[in-house]
Amino acid sequence: MRNKLLVAAVIANLGGMIAAVYLAKLIRDVPADASTETMLLVGYYAALCVVAVVDALLIDELLFVGSFRMTYLQGKDPRFARASDDAVMVAATMQRSSVSFPIVLLLAGGLTYLLFNFVNQDFNPYYRRVGIHVSSLRGEEPETQPRRLQAIAELSVRRHPTIVPTLRQQLVRGGEVGAWAAWALGRFVDVTSERKAILADLRAAVRSPDPNLRREALISLARYQDRDVAEQLIGELERDLAAGVIDRRLLIAAGYIQVPAVLPVLGQILQRGDEKAQRVAAWAIAQHRDQREAKDLDRMLTDRLPSAALPVRCAIVFSLGILGNERANGPLMHAYDTATPEERTSTCPVEVVYLRPDGQQDHFELLLPAESYENAIFKVLGQLRATSPEIRAEVEPWLERLVAAHKGDGTLMAERAQSLLDGIRSARDDSKVAGPE
């Protein structure tokens, strides 16, 4: 019996491993409907269970002299043992196989699971993390559309060699699934090995007649900082501006590619867009600070500052801090002077832009941190630190007036203004100009 079980274990392990490798490959590589894939999974785990049971019987035979086999498979009961029975058999039937065999079976199952997983290149974790979502993308039934979109969202945050090829296949399908696949591919900027293939597919999608697919592909290309999409991006922004509804994701895209040709339409949106679009447009303008061809960015912002709503003024002040041009000191002082006491203490909101097609998840938080309008102004004034004599001639008297006006009023304004004034004067003292020797 021991030899028979040994042969059976060898055959079961070889056959089970071959079946598991074949079935795992089918599940990974061959498109199938849900019912077929369920059958393949049942076959995979059935092979695992058969191997585990045969191995457990062999171990029971080797360690416990076949206690489980004799007691439960052959029905040998030690209470009815006869004197003529084999002593080994009687001893075996008296073992507590109801305890030992389940433990052996679990151990054998665990080892078989690890072995199958090893030869299949981590198939089990792959299926839990990736494969189950890839399976959801199969089929064309309209009622399964939400499941397919959710599967794309799940795959967009995972990293596995099969994911990008799968998303590229979904991109070709077009429609809503293709648009979501275009968005998802924009989240794989870190996967450099697939970059060329992703860019080629997204560039093809930008030429699609489907406006939704075209827009998602355009935004994703911007995330890769593909500056060749500038012309298409300008066209999309102009169409949105004419329609009166600005997709703020396009403004994020403009901030990514940082092409000066986009600045005129950003300036128009800053003047005529809806309030939230104006705030993001101010941020996007400031992102062009390192472009040589981008000139007078601070003037684009300060020209809008006096007449803008408070949330937009907050965004402009924040963006002026990014640009760091000291000639913004004057407009900032004017912004403080013309604000009402209520506006000065109002909190400047954070702007959140969601890049996923349905406006959920994959978000960007702009204009951080949230702080009062007057705090934002003084923070930027502190960053600019007036240095040229003509600008200091305006800033220092203004700060002196603030110190005098708020001294002893119980607020921190006098201390804040004095601190900024001291910092400006300590950086450069114009009274100590070296004369001729």
* Domain residue ranges in the chain: 2-121
> What pLDDT, on the 0 to 100 scale, is given for residue 44?
83
Reply yes or no on whether the pLDDT at 435 is more than 60.
no
Token pair 């089990």 is found at 124
Q: Which residue has the higher pLDDT, 159 or 66?
A: 159
pLDDT band, very low/low/confident/very high, at 99 (cuts 50, 70, 90): low
pLDDT band, very low/low/confident/very high, at 116 (cuts 50, 70, 90): confident
Once rounded to an integer, what is the mean pLDDT over residues 395-420?
A: 91
Percentage of residues of the chain with pLDDT beyond 70 = 88
CB atoms within 10 A of CB 146: 10
Once rounded to an integer, what is the mean pLDDT over residues 122-129?
A: 81
pLDDT band, very low/low/confident/very high, at 70 (cuts 50, 70, 90): low
Alpha carbons 272 and 250: distance in angstroms, whole number: 16
pLDDT band, very low/low/confident/very high, at 73 (cuts 50, 70, 90): low
The gap from C-alpha 126 to its chain's centroid, in whole angstroms, comes to 20
Cα–Cα nearest to 319, from 264, 263, 345, 280: 280
> What pLDDT, on the 0 to 100 scale, is given for residue 2?
75
3-state DSSP of the chain: CHHHHHHHHHHHHHHHHHHHHHHHHHHHHCCCCHHHHHHHHHHHHHHHHHHHHHHHHHHHHHHHCCHHHHHHHCCCCHHHCCCCCCHHHHHHHCCCHHHHHHHHHHHHHHHHHHHHHHHCCCHHHHHHHHHHHHHHCCCCCHHHHHHHHHHHHHHCCCCCCCHHHHHHHHHHHCHHHHHHHHHHHCCCCCCHHHHHHHHHHHHHHHCCCCHHHHHHHHHHHHHCCCHHHHHHHHHHHHHHHHHCCCCHHHHHHHHHHCCHHHHHHHHHHHHHCCHHHHHHHHHHHHCCCCCCCCCCHHHHHHHHHHHCCHHHHHHHHHHHHHHCCHHHHHHHHHHHHHCCHHHHHCECCCEEEECCCCCCCCEEEECCCCCEHHHHHHHHHHHHCCCCHHHHHHHHHHHHHHHHHHCCCCCCHHHHHHHHHHHHHHHCCCCCCCCCC
pLDDT by residue (tens digit) across 202-238? 999 999 999 999 999 999 999 999 999 999 999 999 9
Q: Structure pTM?
A: 0.78
Contact (CB, 8 A) for 290 and 327: no
> What pLDDT, on the 0 to 100 scale, is given for residue 92?
45
